[in-house]
Structure 1
Amino acid sequence: MRGRRMTVAGAVMATLAGTAVIGVQPAAGAARTDAGGRSQDDGTTRFQRQGITWHRCQTAPDDAIGKELDDAKAQCAEVTVPLDYSRPGGRTIKVAMSRLKATDPGRRRGALLYNPGGPGVPAMYLALKVKQVAPAVAARYDLIGMDPRFVGRSTPLNCKWPTVSIGSAGSDRRTFDRSVALARDLASRCAAHRDVLPHASTRNTARDMDVIRAALGEPKLSYLGSSYGTYLGEVYLQLFPRRADRVVLDSALNPDLFGPDLTRTAGPAAAAVLENWAAWAARHHDRHRLGATPAEVLATVDRINRAAARSPLRVGRHRVDSGVLPQLLWNVTAGDGDEAYAGFAADVQVLRDAARGVAVTPTPVLEQVLTGLSSPDAEGSASVQTAIQCADRDASRDPETYYRDIQAHRADEPLFGPLTRHLTPCSFWPTTPAEPPTRVRNDVPVLMVGATGDPAATYAGQRAAHRALTGSRLVTLRGAFRHTVYGGLFSPGNACVDSAVNRYLIDGVMPAADTTCSVIPASVKGGRGAGR
């Protein structure tokens, strides 16, 4: 969901079960106790007690990711888990993981599992990034990267979609109906996997995490999750509150909204990022010539949008219509530093000229994104991302509910509303969720960090997660328009945020109360910040 190298399909498409009081839900697949406190095996003990056979990570001569893991002295393995935890004696699947052992074994405190987001993003390799940006954390923990079920090397699911995205609803009824037909077609292509689709849920991935914890011999599991990984962490905390050690959630999602319609509330936040960029572009008008004031820059974007609604823009060998353009403009959310904003300004320059009828050559980023949007979903990443969302929560099966919502917001969300409020293939999904959504309400200690201007994990959503997790502390990076804030993993680093996270993971010291960090411009000391 991050970076200018990620396609917008990944950026847009990166709960009411249980009791109504603060507490925890019973976890299917968790050991239960009788009235005397004695453990009762519900059929999952054999998975928790399985041995782990570690091996090299490279699987073939052209496996560059596996080679890099091997070069870093990582180990790889697979664990066996139930496809359906309510039937642990039935079909099983394999979940793959990597381990980077603590570099200071004498001071090792346990295992820390990292999930970078998605959903549908392989994480085995990305554990290396944590070691690179947080060596002090890597000294104290075995870093675990898990490819979630049906992702990457974990019994992969691929519906062989001919495209990665249905795009925006576009400018009128015709473009909306065309995208609805595409969504219906994509959903039908997953029907061959109807036996596994209901079990692709985040709840089951959280259960897989706990199998890994037990198989590793760890009484508790520490966790670092960002973006979608925060929702996975929230669900794990709800299902296994006593198994959680030190947990950090970076850019937390609202647990009551996660599912096919999660992006519905993201339009205003993305528009705020666009306005922040427009102010930057106006200050650099001498270089980019997009407008001398923020209003003039936004007017340039509006003219591009209106031109694409009239007829597709020619951008090199590509055609950019009202269904594609908002996906390109969503790239403004890729970062709020000078380099990212300058790159986006170059993209807008190309689109402005195309809207004027000038023959243009796309920037490398535009070429990459446009090529990706017109290419098949070869690795199945888009289809499995959708499968996870569809398994977590039902979506409306009536396309008209989405059309009415889009129309109701065309005036106040003219650019991003038709994209963020649009339906997904979940409206035509061949199966329904096997379980209700997870109602997250507990008081497990958690450290949360995030930015006020986050376009994907909106700050209102972060606050909602903070309220649901009553044992949490929230460190807020004010004035930042970026998604994820810790360690410079996917956005500029901030010393204040990093210090809070590292102090908690290494020393166990949680902030005494919610606190804030400030942003120093990226041109000063690499974007570091100071606490207030």
Structure 2
Amino acid sequence: MAAVAAVALLASPGCASALAASGPRPSGPDGGLSRFEQQKITWNDCRTGPGDEIGAQLHAAGARCAEVTVPLDYARPDGPTVKVAVSRLQAADPGRRRGALLINPGGPGDPGRVYAPLLKEAEPALAARYDVIGMDPRFTGRSTPLNCHWPIGDYVRSTGHDRRGFERIAAEARDLASRCAGLRERLPHASARATARDMDVIRAALGEPRLSYLGGSYGTYLGAVYMQLFPRRVDRFVLDSALDPAAAGPGYARPMGPYLAAALKKWAGWAARHHDRYRLGSTTARVLATVNRIDRVAARDPLRIGRHRVDTHVFPAILLLSLGRDGEQAYAALAADLKVLNDAAHGAEITSAPSLEEGLAYLSSPETDGAGSARMAITCADGPASRDVGDHYRDIQAHRADEPLFGPLTRAMNLPCAFWPASPAEPPTLIRNDVPALIVGASGDPKTPYPGQRAMHRALSGSRMVTVRGAFRHLVSRVFTATPDACVDAAVGRYLLDGALPATDTTCSGTPAR
């Protein structure tokens, strides 16, 4: 989004962190942050009670947990504070320990504490050499959670086929935004800029001169913001499936439509080869015609799937949740779900469909932990959104012909930001520096499209890029995906363990699903 980039402040690469941070900063030699950076971290048992599954998983892996105090507003370090929950798995080989590696799975707003043991399991060589740090970003998980008590678990809705459908979804977005009005003091400070500063307070409190990082999806933008604000604090950063840095904020989903359609077409070819089992069509074109028919039927009369109803506002969201994985198992699961929906579209009574019901419950059940509203708070704090609802409708209409199924979803996925009760505290960060980093991703990624990954690579001019060619998956490194690529993992391991970036950008062949 050019408008986002235009209002960002440029920070010169390579300068000290206090100078690199654009936007308002407190006066004083340390910005008034000494008491935060020098705080003593008290590590405790991660288990908070008998029902704490994440705590039990962390404990079983040998992790310890703590809370780090940070300013709510870094321009006012003497003002209110929030707590950031972290986990730590100390290096299994302390004699060869080389530092701290913080991991962030993206989201935006996915809690990250649990990823410390996941990395230990997936990449034991990294866990041997690094203290692995998991973090629940501010306002998520156990980090001073932000909960607007939405009546739905997350805002992922298509506006449908016409103006009436758009107005319905816009009214829902307005209602969701209004439910966050009581938290407007926090909302402006949910951005990646604030979380990157939290990361640097954590680094300082750990006593680490520099920080290494493994971030996926939105976590790549968070990592890039940290690189821009604190270039001298960066050790070895790996960004998996990079977000276009100019698209971060309310418009981050807008580019997805054509790439989701390409991934759907790839899956449809697989489904056609398995027509004898799923009966969705014997050619790619016929499978896609079946998908479009399901959408049309759902628009006329919502499909009944157990206790849930699937209409044209929800159906594209089901596809969005499933696309981004291209392994045999993932393709089979999507085909099985589409078979159930196709049967329902032909009038069959579906009393139970466990895999579908899980996703539908996620989309429709009231939120309990604030995950959906926190994710929207982060998105709306990362950049400006048009307050003219007509702009959003005109954008969808302009792309309806070339993005008929996914455009009304991806171009409205952050519509609550148009009604958000608070504006961002700061302009977005313009990413432009030459700090070394490794970027890995897939050429057919439908959620962080490849042109955006390339844009991140250009913005981080000191980076190298490893691309899995012909793969239609989102996230490619072992800790984040069920279909890892040995070529990618070798490159990640060489960089994080030995500091060796590829001499040039490279490609991995990838193994497409059969």
Q: 1:527 is matched with which residue?
A: none
Do the aligned partners of 1:83 and 1:196 also contact (CA within 8 Å) in 2?
yes
Deviation for aligned residue 1:273: 0.5
Does 1:338 pair with 2:299? no
Do the aligned partners of 1:28 and 1:86 also contact (CA within 8 Å) in 2?
no
Matches within 5 A, 1:126-205: 126-163=115-152, 164-165=154-155, 167-205=157-195
Q: Matches of 1:311 and 1:512 in 2, distance apart?
A: 56
Matches within 5 A, 1:358-373: 358-373=348-363
State the AA in 1 paired with 2:319: L
Deviation for aligned residue 1:321: 1.2
- Please give the secondary structure, in 1, of the residue aligned with 2:507: strand
Matches within 5 A, 1:24-423: 26-27=20-21, 40-163=29-152, 164-165=154-155, 167-422=157-412, 423=414
Q: 1:453 is matched with which residue?
A: 444
- Please give the secondary structure, in 1, of the residue aligned with 2:87: strand
Does 1:479 pair with 2:470? yes
Q: 2:457 is matched with which residue: 453, 456, 466? A: 466
Does 320-329 or 500-509 show the bigger shift? 320-329
Q: 1:529 is matched with which residue?
A: none
Q: Matches of 1:85 and 1:28 in 2, distance apart?
A: 12
TM normalised by structure 2 equals 0.95
Q: Matches of 2:513 and 2:283 in 1, distance apart?
A: 21
Aligned-residue Cα RMSD (Å) equals 1.8
Structure 1's 504 and 32: CA in aligned 2 closer, same or farther, altered over 3 A?
farther
- Please give the secondary structure, in 2, of the residue aligned with 1:40: coil
Do the aligned partners of 1:29 and 1:44 also contact (CA within 8 Å) in 2?
no
Structure 1's 362 and 272: CA in aligned 2 closer, same or farther, altered over 3 A?
farther
Q: Matches of 2:86 and 2:271 in 1, distance apart?
A: 43
Q: 1:498 is matched with which residue?
A: 489
Q: Matches of 1:20 and 1:59 in 2, distance apart?
A: 41
Do the aligned partners of 2:140 and 2:146 also contact (CA within 8 Å) in 1?
yes
Which deviations, in whole Å up to 9, do the C-alpha atoms of 1:385-429 show, x marking residues without a partner?
Answer: 000111111111111111111112221111111100115211001
Q: Which 5+ residue runs of structure 1 have no aligned equivalent? A: 1-14, 34-38, 524-532
**What is the aligned residue count?**
504
State the AA in 2 paired with 1:65: I
Q: 1:444 is matched with which residue: 419, 424, 435? A: 435
Q: Matches of 1:340 and 1:71 in 2, distance apart?
A: 29
Do the aligned partners of 1:279 and 1:293 also contact (CA within 8 Å) in 2?
yes
State the AA in 2 paired with 1:493: P
Deviation for aligned residue 1:30: 11
Q: Matches of 2:457 and 2:290 in 1, distance apart?
A: 38
Q: Matches of 1:153 and 1:29 in 2, distance apart?
A: 28
Q: Matches of 1:248 and 1:143 in 2, distance apart?
A: 14
Deviation for aligned residue 1:363: 2.7
Do the aligned partners of 2:119 and 2:479 also contact (CA within 8 Å) in 1?
no
Deviation for aligned residue 1:379: 0.8
Do the aligned partners of 2:14 and 2:232 also contact (CA within 8 Å) in 1?
no
Do the aligned partners of 1:440 and 1:469 also contact (CA within 8 Å) in 2?
yes
Which deviations, in whole Å up to 9, do the C-alpha atoms of 1:117-172 show, x marking residues without a partner?
Answer: 11121111111111111000111000000111111111111001111225110121
Structure 1's 29 and 300: CA in aligned 2 closer, same or farther, altered over 3 A?
closer
Deviation for aligned residue 1:31: 9.6
Q: Matches of 2:40 and 2:336 in 1, distance apart?
A: 53
Q: Matches of 1:517 and 1:150 in 2, distance apart?
A: 37
Q: Matches of 2:356 and 2:422 in 1, distance apart?
A: 36
Identity %: 63
Q: Matches of 2:100 and 2:333 in 1, distance apart?
A: 38
Deviation for aligned residue 1:244: 0.4
Q: Which 5+ residue runs of structure 2 have no aligned equivalent? A: none
Q: 1:526 is matched with which residue?
A: none
Q: 1:427 is matched with which residue: 418, 421, 431? A: 418
Does 185-194 or 417-426 show the bigger shift? 417-426
Which deviations, in whole Å up to 9, do the C-alpha atoms of 1:171-203 show, x marking residues without a partner?
Answer: 211111111111111111100011111111110
Which deviations, in whole Å up to 9, do the C-alpha atoms of 1:17-47 show, x marking residues without a partner?
Answer: 22387677632799999xxxxx923211121
Deviation for aligned residue 1:64: 2.0
TM normalised by structure 1 equals 0.92
State the AA in 2 paired with 1:466: H
Do the aligned partners of 2:471 and 2:511 also contact (CA within 8 Å) in 1?
no
Do the aligned partners of 1:354 and 1:360 also contact (CA within 8 Å) in 2?
yes
Does 315-324 or 431-440 show the bigger shift? 315-324
Q: Matches of 1:44 and 1:29 in 2, distance apart?
A: 16
Q: Matches of 1:29 and 1:111 in 2, distance apart?
A: 28
- Please give the secondary structure, in 2, of the residue aligned with 1:393: coil
